[in-house]
Structure formats: structure tokens, C-alpha cells
Structure 1
């Protein structure tokens, strides 16, 4: 299984970018996307940016990845999903009534 990791662009040089997530930095191929700038967030799979992400979505994905790590390590993970606790699931608009 391959998991996309959100990374923030720190610098761009032609079709590659220096990106970071936490303390990790990588040079990422950004040739599949256009109009990126420093500070933007991208979803990275196997060294290539595949999708532009709004910052709020990037942070949600990072929290989910951190929750997986907590579960793997036998730690508490519910706090990563605070926005879902005590919330009733909602049907998509087209399935209501």
C-alpha cells in the first residue's frame, strides 16, 4: 500500500521542489502540477507531487497519518480526530430524502 504524505514547498527550482514535513526534507518532482509557489502544500507519492492541497486538508491528512502511527505504537489516537467525536455521520446531499 502506498500512502500520500502532505509536504510543504520550501523552494522551487524548475520542475523540482525542496519540500518538508515535520523535520524531514526531500527534493520532490513537481512536473505533474503547475503554478506552485513556496509555502504551498502538495500530496507526495514516491517522490512526486501528485496533487495541490489546501493547508487545512494537508493538516487533516497529517493528523490521520499521525493517528496511524499512534495506533501502530499502541498509543491513544482519538485526539487526532477531535472534529469527529460526538458528531453524527451525515449522508451526502444527493442521498438525503
Structure 2
């Protein structure tokens, strides 16, 4: 299974970008984005930035990935899902 990572652009030449997530850096394609800038948060899937993220969405994705790691290691993971804890599941609007 492949997961998209919320990465931050460290440098770019408009064709590729050096991006960072949790101390790991990798060069990714940014051809699907229009004028990506240094400091922008992007969702990276298979070494391709597929879309820009705002800071809140990037944080939620990073928290979910950390929570998944905590759960797999038998650690408490509720703090990573504060937006979901103590909330009833809700159907999407089109299914109501």
C-alpha cells in the first residue's frame, strides 16, 4: 500500500522539488502543480506532488500518520485524532 505524505518544499526549479517530511528529504516531481513555492505544503504520492495542502490539512494528515504508527506499536493514539474522538460517525451529505 502506498500513502501520500504531507511534505514541505525546501527548494524547487518548477519541474522538481526537494521536499521534507519528518527529517527525510527527497526529490519529487512538481509538474502537476502550478508554480509551487518554497515553504508550500504538498501531498506527495510515489515521488510526485499531486496537490497543494493548507497548513491545517497537512497537520491532520501528519497526525493521522503518527497515530497509525502509535497504534501499530501498541501506544495510545487518541491524541492524534482529536478531531474524531468523542464524535459520532457521520454520513457524507450525499448518503443522508
Q: Structure 1 residue 72 and structure 2 residue 72: aligned?
A: yes
Deviating above 3 A after TM superposition, structure 1's stretches of 4 or more consecutive aligned residues are 88-96
In 1, Cα distance between equivalents of 2:15 and 2:76: 40
For residue 92 of structure 1, report the CA deviation from its aligned partner: 4.3
For normalisation by structure 1, the TM-score amounts to: 0.87
Contact 2:17–2:30 (CA under 8 A) maintained in structure 1: yes
Q: Secondary structure of 1:3's match?
A: coil
Please provide the CA RMSD for this pair.
1.5
Q: Which runs of 5+ in 2 are unaligned?
A: none
Tell me what 1:28 maps to. Answer: 28
User: How many residues get paired?
Assistant: 96
For residue 56 of structure 1, report the CA deviation from its aligned partner: 0.6
Q: Which runs of 5+ in 1 are unaligned?
A: none
Tell me what 1:12 maps to. Answer: 12
In 1, Cα distance between equivalents of 2:95 and 2:32: 34
In 2, Cα distance between equivalents of 1:85 and 1:66: 16
Q: Secondary structure of 2:18's match?
A: strand
In 2, Cα distance between equivalents of 1:14 and 1:63: 28
